[in-house]
A = this chain, B = another copy of it.
Amino acid sequence: MGIHSWIQEYTERDWQTTTNGTVRFALIGLGWWTVDVAIPAIESSTLCETTVLVSGSKEKAERIADEHDIEHGLTYDEYHDGAATEAYDAVYIGTPNAYHFEHVKSAARFDKAALCEKPLEATAERAQRLVEAAEDADIPLMTAYRMQVDPAVRCARELIEDGFIGEPTHVYGNNSQSILEMIPDPDQWRLDPDVTGYGTSVMDLGIYTINTARFLLRRDPVAATAYMTSEHDGFEAVPDERAAFTLTFEGGVPLVSTASQNTQGDTQLKITGTEGQIDLDPAFHGKVILSLNRDDIHIDIENTSYSGDDEMEAVFDYFADRVLSGEEIYPDGHHALVDMETIHAIHEAAETGSSVDI
């Protein structure tokens, strides 16, 4: 079998264990991602259905529910009060970071599975309490990282495991965008430290590099150094309009990374080893291009990857598959806590100018 046909296998859902059953979702937080990406992803999915929408505004919840033929439109208060709990099996939490914990707490109280957007919470300490709340109630908890279901990323991971690049020696990652062009609102929550948490660029963008590198290398970071600065209007309240950080992974593999919410859009993740290199460019948003390089091989693979919507559909089906089968969840709460502790260490390293152990 040639490498192209082998790679083609990664468009298949090798993680799927069941095709029977449906998980009914309450979607909490009706921002653009939930409305434009999550609702259509669930509509295309095989194991999921949306039965409840939850928003700060009753009118908005009911209007969008009507548009998509969804049974219930609730306020946050109604959700916390236990409205319509018979209508859903799981919650998807797409609210600002600092509200994840309270929504997981209610899901735990109602014995509902929880799929939570990344980062898991606003701080490592709150994320720890969120994980404990889910564990105490014994509900399934997953973080919606997406990269773990992307065929190009899964393919890269197996190639690294099989020794395609030899022994990994260093990693580079960038994730940058212009958030004020995407969402022209200076009062948006990602620029408000009370709601976003430690900051904006590492929390929202750098986390892709951190989490995907952990997935690809099958190991975790042990130390961080960092530099951050905020220079422009709109970024006064957060420390990291742009950030540069270095992580050291187990086994002495360094990762260098940049993240910025106020610059040209670009994503790249490049893993170099003693025998070769794997480059994902673009890496994180939309279709991934996977480049495999060794002295004797130079291949660019564009057609294994999902678009962003396909990815979210697979995230929902993966989570539903695990909820229905009771199988282990890969990016679970404890997995997400490592990212939160890493981001905390990155911010502390930037403040102190010194290396911080994770």
Residues of A in contact with B (beta carbons under 8 Å apart) = 165-166, 169-170, 172, 174, 176, 178, 223, 225-227, 229, 231, 242-246, 248, 252, 254-258, 260, 262-266, 268, 270, 272-277, 293-295, 353-355
Contacts and interface: CB of A to CB of B under 8 A. Distances in A.
Contacts of A252: 229, 231, 242
13 contacts: A165-B264, A166-B264, A170-B174, A172-B174, A174-B270, A225-B225, A225-B227, A227-B254, A229-B252, A258-B272, A264-B274, A264-B293, A264-B294
A254 B264 contact: no
A262 B274 contact: yes
A256 B254 contact: no
The 9 closest A-B pairs by CB, nearest first: A244-B254, A256-B256, A353-B355, A169-B263, A229-B252, A225-B225, A170-B258, A354-B354, A264-B277
A169 B244 contact: no
B275 A264 contact: yes
Contact of A170 (B169, B263, B270): B263
Contact of A273 (B264, B275, B353, B355): B264
Contacts of A295: 264-265
Contact of A244 (B176, B255, B258, B274): B255
Contacts of A170: 174, 176, 242, 244, 258, 260, 263
Contacts of A262: 169, 274
Contacts of A294: 264
A263 B274 contact: yes
A294 B265 CA distance: 9
B272 A172 contact: no
B277 A266 contact: yes
Given A172-B172, A354-B355, A256 B246 contact: yes
Nearest to A255: B244
Given A170-B258, A225-B353, A264-B275, 5 more contacts: A174-B270, A174-B272, A256-B256, A263-B273, A264-B277
Given A258-B170, A354-B355, A248 B227 contact: yes
A276 B264 CA distance: 5
Contacts of A276: 264
A209 to B, nearest CB: 11
A246 to B, nearest CB: 5
A160 to B, nearest CB: 13
A272 B353 CA distance: 24
Residue of A169, A174, A265 most packed against chain B (CB within 10 A): A169
